Amino acid sequence: MSQLKNDLLLRALRNEPVERPPVWMMRQAGRYLPDYLKLKAKYDFFTRVQTPELATEITLQPIDQVGVDAAIIFSDILVIPQAMGLEVLMEEGKGPSLPRTIATAADIDALNTADAAHHLKYVLDALTLTKRELAGRVPLIGFAGAPWTILCYMVEGKGSKTWDKAKQFAYTQPDLAHALLQKITTITIDYLKAQVAAGADTVQVFDSWAGALSPADFKTFAQPYLLQIADAVSPAAPVILFPKGTWHALEDLGRSSASGIGIDWTITPQMARQMAGSRITLQGNFDPAKLLAPIPEIRRWVTEMIDGFGTQNYIANLGHGITPNVPVDHARAFVNAVKEYKARA
Ligand code: CP3
């Protein structure tokens, strides 16, 4: 076991005492960092993802430049559809697209669920290399997309504001939807376990589009698969679930085998804690758009946020990914405000 010099994140996830809350930012690697944009001009997206040296370099940038308390491996949630046999294109300004979408039982039967570690070896190599380069400075986070969010992309073939095609598929052909969700779950569990074996200290499951579902539909099409992943992976490493937009589910998720739950800014810290119970670690929930405000305002809002959550059993983060237009010094101000937090008397 490597010795971590800064293990705040892991202590917070284990519900152990911390001097201050750990802080990292979803989507912290890439997008808004000038050094990332230089690499982006030289190499296309999947070259950056599939070349361990590049992925490692990008992963380390926010550690060196912004001072976060954890690294999250540079990759994408859509490597799972690729490993299952679907082509994924990433076109500048257009976001991801999948030329061949999933609609029928035959489409689902044709999907691969075996050998995640073989198909995604480059991610595992990037984790191992990053772990070595970090030399114990901060913990390393692995990740995957949640089954519902991956289904959304597989059925729609691209991003959507409403996800109506994905929902139509789930509501009109629930048996097929469950078959697909189970296949994604199976390979994702293998993939996350392989990430832990390769060096990830903890893993986060991004259910970015869970909030498109009603509470009842979330319980049908998303939650059981999130819980299956948490149950299967948590013996190996702490699991953080991030089903964005689903604070209605906090009571159930608080009783799960996950160690942490990410929440967005549509709920107060006090309500979230009350619903989730005292055991689970909460992560969030700063509105990333607030990083566009003047720095003194950012600092004041961070103080209010931590006043609300308390310093223990809590990971300071955004409520969704940082956007490309955030100035680096504003991201740094967010991180420093957490590090310098002093509880009000
Ligand atoms: O901290 C990090 O950013 C680590 C790497 C990371 C990426 N994607 C790299 C990336 C992570 C954690 C993700 C997760 C991801 N990917 C999610 C879940 C998180 C969320 O924001 O909800 C989702 C839904 C995706 C799918 C995806 N990938 C989209 C919708 C896009 C295009 C728009 C965008 O920028 O988010 C991508 C491309 C992508 N993935 C980029 C990066 C840095 C931008 C493209 C580029 O820089 O060339």
* Domain ranges, ordered by start, for the chain: 8-339
* Nearest CA, atom 13, ligand 1: 76
Name the residue of 76, 204, 242 whose CB sits within 8 Å of the most ligand 1 atoms, as the mutation to test its pocket.
Answer: 76
CA–centroid distance, 307 to ligand 1, in Å, is 30
What fold is seen in the domain 8-339?
TIM Barrel (3.20.20)
Q: Is the CB of 142 under 6 A from ligand 1?
A: no
Burial of 113-139, coded b for 16+ CB within 10 Å and e otherwise, reads beebbebbebbbbbbbbbbebbeebbb
Q: Is the CB of 158 under 6 A from ligand 1?
A: no
The pLDDT tens digits of the residues spanning 112-127 come to 999 999 999 999 999 9
Segment 163-168 long-range contacts (CB within 8 Å, at least 24 positions apart): 163/209, 163/212, 166/209, 166/212, 167/212, 167/213, 167/217
Is the pLDDT at 167 greater than 90? The verdict is yes
Find the mean pLDDT for residues 49-75: 98
What is the pLDDT, as a whole number, of residue 249?
98
Q: Is the CB of 44 under 6 A from ligand 1?
A: no
Q: Does residue 21 contact residue 314 with C-beta atoms inside 8 Å?
A: yes
CA–centroid distance, 227 to ligand 1, in Å, is 23
Percent of the chain residues topping a pLDDT of 70: 99
The pLDDT tens digits of the residues spanning 125-163 come to 999 999 999 999 999 999 999 999 999 999 999 999 999
Burial of 304-316, coded b for 16+ CB within 10 Å and e otherwise, reads ebbeebebebbbb
Report DSSP state, residue 251.
H
Q: Which residue has the higher pLDDT, 345 or 29?
A: 29
Q: Is the CB of 46 under 6 A from ligand 1?
A: no
CA–centroid distance, 287 to ligand 1, in Å, is 17
Is the pLDDT at 228 greater than 90? The verdict is yes
What is the pLDDT, as a whole number, of residue 292?
98
What mean pLDDT value characterizes the chain?
97
